[in-house]
Amino acid sequence: MGASTSRRHFLGLAALGAASLTFGCSKKPGSNETATTAEEASGVVPTFKDSTLVAPDIKGIRPVADGYAKYPTTLADAISEKAITSGKPVSVTTPWWGPAPPADNKLVAAVNADLGGTVNFSVQDGVTYGDKLNTMLGARDVPDLLCIPGWEINKLARFNDAVHVLFEELTPYLAGDKASAYPMLAGLDTKSWADSVWGGKLMAIPFPSDNPFPTMLFYRKDVADERGVAAPTTLDEVYQFGKKMTNEAKGEWAFGDIFLEVQQICGAGGSQNGWIKGADGKVIHRYETPEFARAVEFMARVYKEKLIHPDLASSNGADVKTLFKGGKIFMFSDGGGAWKEVWRPAVASDPKFNIQAVKAFGADAGKPPVRWGGTPSILWTFVKKGLGADRTAELLRVLNYTAAPFGTKEWELQNYGVEGTHFTRDSSGAPVTNDLYNKEFANQFIFTGGRPAVVVGGPDIPTYAADFVGWGNDATQYLEKNPWEGIKVEVPTEQAAIEQPTADKVTDIQRGRRPVSELTKVVQDWRDGGGEKAREYYAKVLADNGR
């Protein structure tokens, strides 16, 4: 920062009053969007070295991870030396969708002891995590290790600037064979590493996802079977399901919010932030398709006939999972992570409780759905910039530890805690967790860094792994091909700014506050308000990459 530059900026301040008093000559705000191809990534990602220890029982069709119905009887001790050697505490911020864990935490203390130091967690509410990130990044005040979910990155404007200002470049530590110093990190798959490259530099540790699907349609199989209601296989059957399962007098409604699922059932694509490359090569947005219109129309009907729980219709604060666990609703859509999250605590109080994902289906018999695809990793962990080579290496050793795969003692300790304190073993040797575990476990070390993805249930939910992988293997055939795959596209400010007003209007139509016929006008407003500009941008990104 030279003196002349400073002075120029100071002069800019002084000239402000004089120069730009008129509106006419002023520039409008907004960031300059960039897109980074992953082609240049090949040189900076670690060389893959398989770290899998246990052969899977249930093979997943990639990108669906493998499942394990049986827990391994012998566990490997993957890392013998202590990761933390400086004695300095490590600060980590992670999200969690549940009650905050206690600060005095035996599970964290046990892992810390194994790491040889102290990891201090700041566990933040996952629902409002984006707001925290916004201010944290804006103030340039980040912890040693910061977990950022992929869907939040999409919403963070200027993240391509932020990433280089705030976080350490990991290329010098991990590129190619250098990763052999961190064997567990070298076991993460190459696609998810390539997805962790910003501006040609390796910037983060990926968290490989166990499935590529942003949402699944869950239902209460036990209740539906008991009442003789079959899982839907067409859009009309979804409606029939709603009719049969709703009983207002008993305080029961069929649905939580199912809009995202209905869009996919109707066949509205747009994995890349809503964008699709049409058959004619033209770039269009999901909003502009008849499939989307059909989905909106269907939702308007569902709301009108009051098939969605009124609490969910009347407040942002209502908790869909609590209603589902409590038997107040019977079908909702959520990410794959919700499956286990709901099932485990629910089956503890009601052994018959059975949550299943509805087998993927299209709106009409014989018409396939479009399943949106996600990125190879769902979260990233970033290392704070400027901590020095020694400290960075130490933090990478911590991340190497958290990357220990299924079948290691490290994996068990991070996932289940201490035997006798947090869990006991059943006859097959599988961990059975207790109340202390439920209180203390908040995915702390799981979200600190990624590990090879596996699908693992437990004795309480013995069919989970097979159910999950089975559903994913079937749904993979409908996975949308994303032409932008592998390119890091920053969402243009114009599109980001018009997104909320448009979503609000679409919600209005669903709730019956605007007529369905107004959708065409809403979409036109969206085009004029920034959608058209965003289209040009997304088309240009494709052209620039020769796709």
Partner 1 sequence: MSTTTAVEAATPAASKAPAKRLSVATRLRRDWPLLLMCVPAMALLLVFHYLPALGNIIAFQDYNPYAGDGPWSAFLYSEWIGFGNFQYLFENPAFWDSVRNTLAITAFQLVFYFPIPIALAILLNSILSPRIRSLVQSVVYLPHFFSWVLVVSLFQMMLGGAGLIAQTARSGGFSVPDVMTDPDTFIFLITSEAVWKDAGWGMIVFLAALAAIDTSLYEAAAADGAGRWRRLWHITLPGLRPVIILLLILRLGDALNVGFEQFVLQREAVGRDAAEVLDTYVYYQGIKTQMWGVGAAAGLFKAVVGLLLIIGANKLAHRFGEQGIYSKS
- Interacting residues toward partner 1 by CB under 8 A: 1, 6, 9-10, 12-13, 16, 19-23, 25-31, 130-131, 134, 137-141, 155-158, 161-162, 165-166, 248-249, 251, 253, 306, 309-311, 313-318, 328, 493, 496-497, 500-501, 504-505, 507-508, 511, 513
Contact 329, 254 (CB under 8 A): yes
Residue type, 113: A
Q: Which of 147, 157, 105 is nearest to 124 (CA)?
A: 147
Rg of the chain in Å (alpha carbons): 25
Name the residue nearer to partner 1 (CB basis): 26 or 86: 26
Q: Minimum CB separation from partner 1 for residue 536, in Å?
A: 19
Q: Minimum CB separation from partner 1 for residue 379, in Å?
A: 20
Contact 396, 173 (CB under 8 A): yes
Contact 443, 96 (CB under 8 A): yes
The tokens describing 257, both together, are 């919010």
Q: What letter does residue 106 receive in the DSSP assignment?
A: H
Contact 149, 97 (CB under 8 A): no
Name the residue nearer to partner 1 (CB basis): 294 or 309: 309
Name the residue nearer to partner 1 (CB basis): 57 or 131: 131
Q: Minimum CB separation from partner 1 for residue 182, in Å?
A: 28
Q: Minimum CB separation from partner 1 for residue 485, in Å?
A: 25
Q: Minimum CB separation from partner 1 for residue 290, in Å?
A: 25
Name the residue nearer to partner 1 (CB basis): 30 or 345: 30
Q: Minimum CB separation from partner 1 for residue 20, in Å?
A: 2
Chain CA centroid to CA 344, Å: 20
Name the residue nearer to partner 1 (CB basis): 262 or 461: 262
Q: Minimum CB separation from partner 1 for residue 6, in Å?
A: 7
Name the residue nearer to partner 1 (CB basis): 55 or 503: 503
Name the residue nearer to partner 1 (CB basis): 106 or 155: 155
Q: In sequence order, what DSSP letters do the residues of 321-347 get, joined into one string?
A: HHHHHTTS-SEEEE-THHHHHHHHHHH
Q: Minimum CB separation from partner 1 for residue 94, in Å?
A: 22
Q: Which of 365, 367, 346, 364 is nearest to 355 (CA)?
A: 346
| Torsion over CA: 27, 29, 32, 33 (sign) | negative
Name the residue nearer to partner 1 (CB basis): 109 or 497: 497
What is the three-class DSSP state of 58? strand
- 120's CB contacts (< 8 A; 6+ apart) are 89, 90, 91, 92
Contact 188, 403 (CB under 8 A): yes
